[in-house]
Structure 1
Amino acid sequence: MAEFRHMVTHAVSRRSLAAAVVALATVPSLIAAGPAQARDIMAAADVGYPPFATTKPDGSFEGIDIDIAKALSDEMGVTIKVIDQPWSATIPGLKAGKFDMILAPATITEERAQSLLFAEGYGDATFSFLLPASGPDMTSLDDLRGKTVATNKGNLFDRWLTEREKQYGWTIVRFDKHSDAAAAVAAGQADAAIMYTASVGWLSKTKPVFKPSAYIVDNKEYFGYAFRTDQAELRNKVDAALECLKKSGKIAAIFKTWTGIEPLPTGMTTTVVAGYGPEGFSNYDKTEHAGACK
């Protein structure tokens, strides 16, 4: 009888062990079947370019792009971690795999779109003029005829002014930084300084000696976040989340908070683009998708 009980116990133990092995073997598959834990997204920003990304006294970052990154993180259910990179290092660093995306106001061009993936535009790359607060307003380019206009040396605004120099008869004074161009306006050395509207708004909002011009140059160019060409899935996720933030009005509100200027009513802060990426450029994906906003 004792031998019989030993045989039964041994058989039950073997069955229990086998069941345990089967149970353990199914654990990985159960984990795999559940929702995968999304990893953080590393994003490079040119911190020190207000109002898009600057450093607070405590060392943390703030600005338009930082606020949008926080909103995207909430919408996507992942954390976008922002690291500081000089603008000249962002595209090479992205292509080398040092980070996942460029979180900076890169103007979308066909040349860039051929070697990068862009999400749809999130802001309008309009530009306008920084004026002295005590001076007259500006409603057209004719108001600058014969006046002195400050700009950054060799940048796109310099080229834009130079192309129209004979037509409007303005004198161009060139500086190494747009902060120096702004200082020239404050000191009365220039009647206006040309720069992106966001920068004009931020300087006017934070420095009462300035005001923004009512005249805005809109060349239908847009700012966009960039990704590597092998990151279509990530680009598409960010693109879809941007659409949600546009629909809710969050992006337009962020721009207004930082610039004090009302975004263009039909501009890219509110316009949802069909498909993924900027329509009309290389690497645009016209695949339609339904919004699934938080």
Structure 2
Amino acid sequence: MNPFIKAGIVGLSALLACTPAFALGDPIKTAIDATFAPHAMPTLDGKIEGFNVDMANLIGERLGKKVDLTGAQFSGLIPAFQAGTYDFLVAPVTVNKERAANLLFTEGFMDTNFAFVVPANAPEYKTLEDFKGKTIAVNKGSAYDSFLREKEKEFGWKVESYGTNTDAVAAVMAGRADANLAGNTVAAWAVKQNPRLKLSYEYATGLVWALSFRKGDEANRDLVDRAIECLKLDGSMAKLSEKWFGVTPVAGTTIVTPTKGFGTPGFDGYKDDDHQASCENLK
């Protein structure tokens, strides 16, 4: 995914405090990078569709609020968010220490793992060691590119970098590479689009994607956090995973498991409490 530009998030904590809760009667205003398939992508009729688009609308339904969703280039989201144009960003953002120092996060809505894509007739790969001696295609300059190159000597694979992940996937289909490495959802989307491919080994990073609010907006963050918990409990998140990724979530994974407290545990902004996750009293 597109990373938060450091300069774009520095100073967010200095913004004016947000209203205690979403304004009565007004729609929830949020935004997303509309070019990050399958989380958000343009349709032929000029609208936006994708996993995070559906999730945003379901959050609105659970809270009894209309959602005003804007799709824009990622570089334009940050300035608008700083200016208070949006209540929060529904763009998937990996929670880390630096970002949590400047942004207020919900609990994770899914794990941000790395996944290998291989030809449908390829053998089963169960560890990183199984890719020893293999040629792996990857999007040049991505986190996956860096990961492969850092471990190239350790695991003995050959890394081929391409301008886009689409080109890297094409290399696998053409037989120029044995596998492609990308984010788990992008990998799943590629496989869903082409029966000549299949998902292979998934490398767990221990990190999650979450939705981001401005510092000081705990009231609204907590409301959306509770809605996410509800979507996990009532099966909505599992259905979205099956719809957009072609993957049925495993029990215990972040996408179907509510997190204790509010926010992402282990990071700034997390609030530990004993509230019970449910779909009651959200409106």
Deviation track 1:217-242 (CA, whole Å, cap 9, x = no partner) reads 11211010101113221111100111
Q: Aligned partners of 1:155, 1:264: CA distance in 2, in Å?
A: 27
**Distance in 1, Cα, partners of 2:77 & 2:120:** 36
Shift of 1:87: 2.3
User: Alpha-carbon deviation of 1:157?
Assistant: 0.7
Rate the CA distance shift 1:242–1:187 in 2: closer, same or farther, 3 A.
same
TM-score, structure 1 normalization: 0.83
Instruction: Check the 8 A contact 2:90/2:211 in 1, yes or no.
Output: yes
Deviations 1:30-54 (A, max 9, x none): xxxxxx7331111111112111111
Q: For CA contacts below 8 A with separation 6 or more, give which structure has more relative contact order.
A: 2
- Assess if the C-alpha contact under 8 Å between 2:229 and 2:278 holds in 1: no
Range moving further from structure 2, 144-153 or 280-289: 280-289
2:262 corresponds to which of 276, 283, 294 = 276
Asked if 2 retains the 8 angstrom alpha-carbon contact of 1:52 and 1:63, the reply is yes
What percent identity do the matched residue pairs reach? 35
Aligned to 1:113: 100
Instruction: Tell me whether 228-237 or 132-141 shows the greater mean CA deviation.
Output: 132-141
Give 1:133's aligned residue.
120
Give how far 1:292 is off: 5.5
Write out per-residue CA displacement over residues 262-287 of structure 1, whole angstroms, 9 at most, x where no aligned residue: 22321111221122111110011224
> 2:122 & 2:86 partners in 1: Cα distance?
45
**Aligned-partner residue type, residue 175 of structure 2:** G
Q: What is the Cα deviation at residue 71 of structure 1?
A: 1.1
Q: Is residue 2:160 matched to residue 1:199?
A: no
2:66 counterpart residue number: 79
- Aligned counterpart, 2:162: 175
| Equivalent residues of 1:91, 1:102 under 8 A apart | no
AA paired with 1:248? D
Shift of 1:105: 1.6
The structure with more radius of gyration: 1
- Gap change, CA 1:107 and 1:132, over 3 Å in 2: same
2:100/2:267 contact within 8 Å kept: yes
Is the alpha carbon distance of 1:216 and 1:291 closer, same or farther for their aligned partners in structure 2, counting shifts above 3 Å? closer
Would you say the 8 A contact 2:109–2:209 is kept in 1? yes
Gaps of 5+ in 2: 1-22
Deviation at 1:290, TM superposition (A): 4.3
SS in 2 for 1:81: strand
Q: Is the 8 A contact 1:132 1:186 kept in 2?
A: yes
- 1:293 aligned onto 2:279: yes
Of 150, 163, 168 in structure 1, the residue corresponding to residue 150 of structure 2 is: 163
Q: Which AA in structure 2 matches 1:200?
A: A
Distance 1:262 1:81 in 2: 29
1:93 aligns with 2:80: yes
Structure 2 residue 51 is the aligned partner of structure 1 residue 69: no
Aligned to 1:189: 176
Secondary structure, in 3 states, of the residue corresponding to 1:212? strand
Partner of 1:264, secondary structure, is coil
Q: Distance in 2 between matches of 1:110 and 1:90?
A: 21
Letter in 1 for 2:268: S
Q: Is the 8 A contact 1:117 1:229 kept in 2?
A: yes
Residue 133 of structure 1: CA displacement? 2.0
Does structure 1 conserve the Cα–Cα contact (< 8 Å) formed by 2:119 and 2:196? Answer: yes
Instruction: Please name the residue that 1:26 is paired with.
Output: none
42, 56, 60: which one pairs with 2:47? 60
2:139 to 118, 134, 152: 152
The offset of 1:291, in angstroms, is: 4.5
Q: In structure 2, what is the Cα distance between the partners aligned to 1:265 and 1:291?
A: 16
User: Which of 206, 210, 222 in structure 2 is aligned with 1:236?
Assistant: 222
Q: Which residue of 1 aligns with 2:11?
A: none
1:12: which partner in 2?
none
Greater shift, 258-267 or 106-115, is seen at 258-267
For 2:131, the aligned partner's letter is L
List gaps (5 residues or longer) in structure 1.
Answer: 1-35
Query: For 1:212, which of 163, 185, 199 is the aligned residue?
Result: 199
**Cα distance in 2 between the residues matched to 1:292 and 1:139:** 36
Q: Indicate if the aligned counterparts of 2:233 and 2:278 stay in contact, CA closer than 8 A.
A: no
Conserved 8 A contact 2:35-2:73: no
Q: Does the Cα contact within 8 Å between 2:137 and 2:160 map onto a contact in 1? A: yes
Whole-angstrom distance in 2 between the partners of 1:256 and 1:216 = 17
